[in-house]
């Protein structure tokens, strides 16, 4: 049975906040075994398939770049008669070594099977990613 929209929002918020808090054990608990993560605007990165591979990738890359990731949730979109939720949010992330603050905007598609995320498709602004922090720590 499909989870209600409000419960899906709570799961996605928990998932993203767990990434931001570098709690990758919790991230794994929210993913289906066969989950897929894809970042379509970063064409050099192929989709990551499977809970273990997603947790390994996030657990390896995120802590190398950021002290934490703080997300602000702007809009939630329910896809009628679907197992999908779309989230619009932005980040403010202190970078490792005090090298500034990384900011970006995202639209992500989350697909569910019951209370587990099966698809995490993140559209981020690749220009912000490549720009890095501006002088004074602002990106």
Q: Where are the domains of the chain?
A: 5-127
Check: CATH 2.40.50.140 for 5-127? no
Residue 79's contacts (CB-CB under 8 Å, 6 or more residues apart) are 85, 86
Taking residues 99-110, report their average pLDDT: 94
Q: Give me the chain's average pLDDT, please.
A: 91
Burial of 51 (0-12, 13-18, 19+ CB in 10 A): buried
Taking residues 61-87, report their average pLDDT: 95
Taking residues 102-119, report their average pLDDT: 96
Q: Is the pLDDT of residue 76 over 70?
A: yes
Predicted local distance difference test score (pLDDT) of residue 126: 77
Predicted local distance difference test score (pLDDT) of residue 131: 56
Taking residues 117-133, report their average pLDDT: 80
Taking residues 93-115, report their average pLDDT: 94
Widest CA span of the chain, in angstroms? 50
């Amino acid at each position: 049975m499909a989870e209600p929209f409000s419960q899906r929002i709570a799961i996605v918020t928990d998932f993203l906040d767990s990434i931001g808090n570098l709690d990758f054990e919790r991230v794994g608990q929210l993913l289906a075994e066969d989950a897929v993560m894809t970042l379509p605007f970063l064409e050099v990165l192929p989709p990551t398939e499977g809970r273990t591979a997603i947790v390994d990738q996030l657990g390896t890359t995120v802590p190398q770049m950021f002290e934490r990731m703080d997300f602000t949730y702007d809009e939630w979109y329910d896809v009628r008669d679907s197992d999908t939720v779309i989230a619009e949010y932005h980040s403010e992330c202190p970078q490792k070594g005090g090298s500034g603050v990384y900011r970006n905007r995202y639209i992500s598609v989350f697909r569910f099977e019951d209370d587990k995320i099966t698809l995490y498709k993140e559209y981020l602004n690749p220009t912000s990613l490549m720009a890095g922090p501006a002088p004074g720590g602002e990106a």
